[in-house]
Chains A and B, each alone.
Chain A
C-alpha cells in the first residue's frame, strides 16, 4: 500500500473514532433529557474535550496531507470533505453539550408535554447520525440520500414542538414554566441542528464520491 494511502486510511479512521465520541455525547445528552440517565453532564463535558482535540488533530492532518501530497481528484475531494465532516462532528458535540446543560432542570417540569415529540425527534436524529457515519464509512451515497430525506421529518417535528411550547407559554402564568419552556425551545433547536449537521455530512459524502455538489439546490438552479 502506498504511504499516502496509509495516511488517508488513518484520516478516515480518526474521523470514525471522532464520530463514535460524538455519538456517545449525543446519547448521553439525550439520555439525560429523557430522564433515563441522570448525571450525564460531566460525561458529556469530558467527551467534548476529547472531540475538540480530535478536531484540531484532524484539521492539521488534512492541511499536511494537502500541502505535502498535492492530492487531486478523488483524494482531494476526500480530504476537503473530511475537513467539513470534522467541523460538523465538532458542532454536533457542541449541540450535545447545550442539550445536556439544560436537560437536568427540564425533566422536573411535567407540564412541558412536548417531551413526547422531542423523544421522536431524538430517535430520528440519532438514527440520522448513525446512518450518516455508516454512509461515510462505506461511501454509500444511496444511504446518504435516505438520510437527507429524513431531515424534513425532523423539521416538521421541531415545528410541532415549538407550536406546542408556544401554547404552553401563552396559557401559563408561571414565570418559571415560561423560562423552562424557552429552554425547551433551545433544546429542540439543538436536536434539529444535530440533524442538520448529519445532512451536511451526507451532502459531503455525495460530493466525495460523485464530485457533485448538492448543497443549496435552489441557489444552484
Chain B
C-alpha cells in the first residue's frame, strides 16, 4: 500500500530548479533508499516530505506530496502535526545536552502527548527498547546524552523520533559519521524498525542502500532517473545512467 505519493513535485530555491517533476509512490513498512551524486536533490526531496525545507527562505514548491492520501502542501496542514507523524534523523547525531531520559521524553512534552509521568516512563522505555538501548541504559537514564558513543547517540535520536509515534521516519545519511561496526548496527536496527514504520533514507553509500532497502530511487540533477525494487536497481537497472552510477563509472 502506498504511504507517500509524490506527484509532479518541483522545488525551487529562488531561481534554482532543484527538484524537477518528481513522481514516486513509496510503500508502507518498507525501506526506500534515495541515491545519487552530491547535489542531485535527494536530501531536498527527503526534507520535502516533512516540509523542513519551509524554513529556508525563497523555497517554492509546485506539485503534491500526499501522505495517507492528504497533500501535505495544502494550506490547512498543521505542520507541527505533520512533523510529529513524519520523524527525522540527521547526518550527525544531535542529542540535546540533557539526560538520556529527557531526550526521549522531549517530544512527548513539547507536543503534550503524555498525560502522566507513568505514560512518559512507559513511552521512554518502549522507545529505548525499540532502538536496543534500554538494556544498557536503564540504570543510566539520567546521565547526559552527550556521554554516549556516536552510535548510541544516533540510536537515541532515533528513539527520540519514534517516541512521538510517527508513521514515517526520514533518515538523512544517518551513518555518515559512524564507523563500519556502528554503521552495521544502525543498519540492522533500521531493518527491524521497518516492520513498524515506513522508512525513507538518503545515503551516499550505495552499498548501504543495497544492503538495507527494498526500493531505491536514483536521482540525477534534480530528476528522478529510476525508481524500482532495490535488487532490480543493483542487478538489472533499466536506465543506462543508473547502471553507470551503481557500477561506479561516474559520481
Task: List the interface of chain A (C-beta within 8 A of B).
Answer: 2-4, 63-64, 67-70
Stretch at the interface among B92-100, B162-170, B230-238: B230-238
Q: Would you give the shortest CB distance from A11 to chain B, in whole angstroms?
A: 15
16 A-B residue pairs with Cβ-Cβ distance under 8 Å, sorted by A, are A2-B188, A3-B188, A3-B191, A3-B211, A3-B212, A4-B211, A64-B231, A64-B235, A67-B210, A67-B234, A68-B211, A68-B230, A68-B231, A69-B211, A70-B207, A70-B210
Between A2, A4, A67, A70, the greatest number of chain B beta carbons within 10 A of the residue's beta carbon is seen for: A67
CB closest residue in chain B, given A64? B231
**Are the CB atoms of B188 and A68 closer together than 8 Å?**
no
**Contact residues of B: prevailing secondary structure:** helix
**Contact residues of A: prevailing secondary structure:** helix
Contacts of A67 in B (CB 8 A): 210, 231, 234-235
CB closest residue in chain A, given B190? A3
CA distance A68 to B191 in the complex (A): 14
B20 at the interface (CB under 8 A from A): no
**Knowing that A2-B184, A67-B231, A70-B210 are A-B contacts, what are 4 other residue pairs whose CB atoms are under 8 Å apart, sorted by A's residue number?**
A3-B188, A3-B191, A68-B234, A69-B211
Binary interface encoding of chain B residues 216-238 relative to chain A, with 1 for a CB under 8 A from any of its CBs, else 0: 00000000000000110011000
CA distance A67 to B207 in the complex (A): 9
Q: Would you give the shortest CB distance from A75 to chain B, in whole angstroms?
A: 13
Contacts of B231 in A (CB 8 A): 64, 67-68
Interface size on B, residues (CB 8 A): 11
**Are the CB atoms of A69 and B210 closer together than 8 Å?**
yes
Q: Would you give the shortest CB distance from A181 to chain B, in whole angstroms?
A: 49
CA distance A69 to B210 in the complex (A): 7
Contacts of A63 in B (CB 8 A): 235
Nearest 8 A/B pairs, CB to CB = A68-B210, A67-B234, A67-B235, A64-B231, A3-B191, A70-B207, A69-B211, A68-B234
CA distance A199 to B225 in the complex (A): 47
B162-188 residues with Cβ-Cβ distance < 8 A to A are 184, 188
Contacts of B212 in A (CB 8 A): 3
CB closest residue in chain B, given A66? B235
Contacts of B230 in A (CB 8 A): 68
Binary interface encoding of chain B residues 11-26 relative to chain A, with 1 for a CB under 8 A from any of its CBs, else 0: 0000000000000000
CA distance A4 to B210 in the complex (A): 12
Q: Would you give the shortest CB distance from A71 to chain B, in whole angstroms?
A: 10
CA distance A70 to B210 in the complex (A): 9
Q: Would you give the shortest CB distance from A122 to chain B, in whole angstroms?
A: 41
Contacts of A2 in B (CB 8 A): 184, 188
CB closest residue in chain B, given A69? B211
CA distance A3 to B211 in the complex (A): 9
Q: Would you give the shortest CB distance from A64 to chain B, in whole angstroms?
A: 5
CA distance A70 to B180 in the complex (A): 14
Contacts of B235 in A (CB 8 A): 63-64, 67
CA distance A100 to B242 in the complex (A): 48
CA distance A73 to B212 in the complex (A): 20
CB closest residue in chain B, given A2? B188
CB closest residue in chain B, given A4? B211
CA distance A63 to B231 in the complex (A): 9
Contacts of B207 in A (CB 8 A): 69-70
Q: Would you give the shortest CB distance from B115 to chain A, in whole angstroms?
A: 37
CA distance A69 to B234 in the complex (A): 10
Q: Would you give the shortest CB distance from A85 to chain B, in whole angstroms?
A: 21
